[in-house]
Amino acid sequence: MGIYALQDLNLAGVRWELNEMPSKEDLKKAPIQQTFQTNRAGTPIIIPAAAPITLDTVKSMVVRPTDTDSLLRMIGEFNHPLRNGATNVVMPNIAKNPNGLVIITDLPSSDDDASGKILSGAAGEMVDKMLFAINMSRENVSIIPLVFWRTPGGRTPSREEIDLSMPFVDKLLEMLQPKIVITFGTLAASEIAKTNLTSDHGSEIVSDKGYTIVPMFHPNYLILKPSAKKDVWDALQNIQKLLKIQ
């Protein structure tokens, strides 16, 4: 299979797993590493290894922020396992004048990693055109990445990596109180809408949180497959109608 065919599969949302995170069993078996330093008297000081971040720890953290600015600061400072390999934390775009629409997108791209801004580069230009077509922009539409750090080589994140990011995503949704949530890409459709993008693109899925979720193709897929733009246009028009009704 050639490189362009592989890119086609990738942008279409076909996922693969390269799990670099150790399992809980591995962590239990692994010897505890300790750092030795020497004090002024020359006596070694044993510094215990830092405990791994747990999902319970993250859930307890996200209870504290009472506004989006505080939550964003927490995301920017959070020591996620992916952070060390990323250039930047890719921060959400929080709409200054929200209109009830929130986008949750798949993984940050290399452009996003370089800029620290979600949906930048060619994909960002496509998103801006999509929003403009229904009289919207990033000024009134918030955009949240499923995880806030680029994975090595753009691989699919592990279950643990997603789980440690999701409490922040859930808290943002709770604060923003959207009417409609669009998911971009296969992974976001699976994690947020609990559905298959291929079969349910453009469908309306009612969340138990009270908002409607609409799974859609990722903008990168539209760049690769312009023929899919009609399906996306139909979905966008329907979203525009739903926002007026709700």
pLDDT tens, 41-67?
555 555 454 557 899 999 999 999 999
Query: How large is the C-alpha radius of gyration of the chain?
Result: 20
Contact predicate 96/143, CB 8 Å = no
Q: Of 101, 106, 102, nearest to 90 (Cα)?
A: 106
Top pLDDT among 96 and 29 is at 96
Average per-residue pLDDT in the chain? 85
Q: pLDDT exceeding 70 applies to what percent of the chain?
A: 79
Instruction: State both tokens at 16.
Output: 């693969």
Q: Pick one of 3.30.70.20, 3.40.50.800, 1.10.10.10, 3.40.470.10 as the CATH number of 55-245.
A: 3.40.470.10
Whole-prediction pTM value?
A: 0.79
> Which of the two residues, 118 and 44, has the higher pLDDT score?
118
Closest CA to 176 of 125, 210, 148, 136: 210
**pLDDT number for residue 31:** 45
H or E element in which residue 201 lies: none
Distance CA(73)–CA(169), nearest Å, equals: 14
Taking the C-alpha atoms of residue 8 and residue 30, their distance in angstroms, rounded to an integer, is: 39
Beta bridge partners of 145: 105
Chain segment 175-187, per-residue pLDDT in tens: 999 999 999 999 9
pLDDT at residue 228 greater than cutoff 90: yes
Backbone angles phi, psi at 188, to 5 degrees: -65, -40
Token match 């903008």: residue? Answer: 219
Rounded to 5 degrees, φ, ψ at 229 are -65, -30
Mean pLDDT of the 185-209 span? 94
**Does residue 147 have a pLDDT over 90?**
yes
Widest distance between CA atoms in the chain: 74
Tokens of 131: 């929003």
Domain ranges of the chain: 55-245
- Calculate mean pLDDT across residues 186-204: 95
pLDDT in tens, 133-146: 999 999 999 999 99
Beta strands 44-47 and 35-38 are: antiparallel
